[in-house]
Amino acid sequence: MISTPLKRFQKKIGYSFKRRHWIETALTHPSYRHEGDRAEQRDNQRLEFLGDAVIGLLTAECLYTLEPALDEGTMTKFRSMITNRSGLAEVGVSWELGDLLRLGKGEAQSGGAERESNIADAVEAVIGAIFQDGGMNACRKFFSRHFEPRLHSLLTEKEMQVERDNPKGSLQEMLQRQGKDAPVYQIVGESGPAHDRQYEAAVYWNQQELARGSAPSKRAAEAQAAAKALQVMSSTDHAI
Where in the sequence numbering do the catalytic residues fall?
52, 124
Q: Are 119 and 150 in contact (CB under 8 A)?
A: no
- Give pLDDT tens digits for 23-47: 999 999 999 887 766 666 789 999 9
pTM, two decimal places = 0.66
pLDDT exceeds 90 at position 17: yes
- Give pLDDT tens digits for 82-123: 999 999 999 999 999 999 999 999 999 999 999 999 999 999
- Give pLDDT tens digits for 119-173: 999 999 999 999 999 999 999 999 999 999 988 888 777 655 544 567 888 888 8
- Report the DSSP beta bridge partners of residue 208: 205
Compute the distance between CA of residue 175 and CA of residue 80 in angstroms, rounded to an integer: 30
- Report the DSSP beta bridge partners of residue 209: 204
Among 192, 183, 182, CA closest to 215: 192
